[in-house]
Amino acid sequence: MLIKATQKYTRQAPRKLRLIANTVKKLSIEQALSQLAIIERKATLEVTKVMQQAIANATHNHGYQLKDLEIESILVNEGPRYRRFNPVSRGRAHSITKRTSHITVTLRTKEEPKKDMKAVEKPVEQVEKKEIKEKKAAAPKKRAAKK
Its pTM stands at: 0.71
pLDDT for residue 108:
94
φ, ψ for residue 121 (rounded to 5)? -85, 135
Between CA 124 and CA 92 the distance in angstroms is 64
pLDDT for residue 53:
96
Taken in order of first residue, the domains within the chain and their CATH numbers are 2-85+93-113 (3.90.470.10)
Per-residue pLDDT of the chain (147 residues; tens, 9 = 90+): 899 999 999 999 999 999 999 999 999 999 999 999 999 999 999 999 999 999 999 999 988 999 999 999 999 999 999 999 999 999 999 999 999 999 999 999 987 654 444 454 555 566 676 677 676 677 666 666 666
Q: What does each C-alpha distance from 88 to 38, 82, 84, 85 come to in angstroms?
A: 39, 19, 13, 9
Between CA 59 and CA 36 the distance in angstroms is 21
